Amino acid sequence: MAEGDLTGDGGPDSGRKVLEVDRLAKVYAASRSSGGGGGTEAIADLTFSAARGEFVALVGPSGCGKTTLLRCVAGLDRPSSGAVRLDGAVVRDVQPSLAVVFQEYTRSLFPWLTVRRNVEFGLHALPRRERSARVADSIEHVGLTEFADHYPWQLSGGMQQRVAIARAIASRPVTLLMDEPFASVDAQTRAQLESMVLDLWREFGWTVLLVTHDIDEAIFMADRVLVLSRRPSRVLRTVTVALDRPRDQVETRALPEFQQYRKEIFGLIGTAG
Ligand SMILES: Nc1ncnc2c1ncn2[C@@H]1O[C@H](COP(=O)(O)OP(=O)(O)O)[C@@H](O)[C@H]1O
Ligand SMILES: [Mg+2]
């Protein structure tokens, strides 16, 4: 393969695994309120990797450690053992090449700043002209140009989540982490946001790690779905989703193969121990 030649030394895949999670474990220390008993073992032993440009979804029962995992990947939290590597370097701190979109858009946006200022936040190191061009472009990519001078509280939930996505775009990430980003919006908005993110992913070539508890969403969006066990979580199964792209909300979901993936993953989660 042509890309293999560009990686130089190492094996054929060495330059392509942008993200590696290697035997990651996370135990939260016991709090006083828990009576000083043992801590919470959130993640037992998690290993997986994502290639550059790959869209990986993680599904698993509530409380199995998905948010904990994303926080470790983002450098917001430290694993108890094991490591996360981005482009071969161990993550110990927040990475500029990585952006995160959380479920709670109401908490991730500043209510006292306009859409434009929210998206601009964090770009202060850029020269002014470049900064405003990048902000305008990012807002346009999520279809909110007309609302650039509105405040978050003047927007619907779906629109607020678009602002959070615009902010991620503006930081020009290589890797995008999303933690149940569409869980708080209605079904129709959710479908629109899913399709929008797939379009953006194609355009920007991000490596994406999407956490969702919605199995259909995981299949619809991802190249691979990692099915996690109950806490302390492990990878139960990796399901490669070989559905054509671009994917369509109605046609893709109606395919017999889609139903087959659904059945397989529901079966796994139902029996997850
Ligand atoms: N900061 C924390 N301190 C102590 N326990 C935590 C903390 N964050 C999460 N936990 C616990 O770790 C487990 C996994 O939580 P989380 O990663 O939020 O799961 P998920 O996102 O899959 O629902 C849960 O039992 C949760 O209560
Ligand atoms: Mg969570």
**Which domains does the chain possess?**
16-97+175-273 (3.40.50.300), 105-172 (no CATH)
Average pLDDT for 56-72:
94
pLDDT at 37: 62
How many CB atoms within 10 Å of residue 65?
29
Counting ligand 1 atoms within 8 A of each CB, the residue from 27, 43, 68 with the most, and so the one to mutate, is 68
C-alpha dihedral (50, 80, 101, 268), degrees to nearest 10: 60
User: Using CA positions, which residue lies closest to atom 23 of ligand 1?
Assistant: 63
Residues 6+ apart with CB under 8 A from 100: 70, 74, 76, 168, 176, 177, 178, 179
pLDDT at 186 over 60: yes
Any atom of ligand 1 within 6 Å of the Cβ of 26 = no
Residues 6+ apart with CB under 8 A from 232: 25, 41, 42, 43, 44, 65
- CB–CB of 233/46 below 8 Å? yes
Q: How far is the CA of 102 from the centre of ligand 2 (A)?
A: 9
The neighbouring-strand residues paired with 233 are 43
3-state secondary structure 197-247: HHHHHHHHCCEEEEECCCHHHHHHHCCEEEEECCCCECEEEEEECCCCCCC
d(CA 214, CA 231): 18
Residue 179 Cα: closest atom of ligand 1:
21
Residue 228 Cα: closest atom of ligand 1:
22
Residue 71 Cα: closest atom of ligand 1:
17
pLDDT at 108: 86
pLDDT at 106: 74
List pLDDT tens digits, range 87-101.
999 999 999 999 999
- For CA atoms 192, 194, 196, 199, the dihedral sign is negative
User: Using CA positions, which residue lies closest to atom 27 of ligand 1?
Assistant: 63
List pLDDT tens digits, range 146-171.
999 999 999 999 999 999 999 999 99
Any atom of ligand 1 within 6 Å of the Cβ of 96 = no
Residue type, 12: P
List pLDDT tens digits, range 83-133.
999 999 999 999 999 999 998 877 789 999 999 999 999 899 999 999 999
Q: Chain-wide mean pLDDT for the chain?
A: 91
pLDDT band at 33 (very low <50, low <70, confident <90, very high): low
For residue 181, the number of C-alpha atoms closer than 13 Å in the C-beta half-sphere is 33
List pLDDT tens digits, range 238-270.
999 999 999 999 999 999 999 999 999 999 887
Any atom of ligand 1 within 6 Å of the Cβ of 102 = no
Structure letter (DSSP) for residue 109: S
pLDDT band at 9 (very low <50, low <70, confident <90, very high): very low
pLDDT at 81 over 50: yes
pLDDT at 34: 54
Residue 77 Cα: closest atom of ligand 1:
1
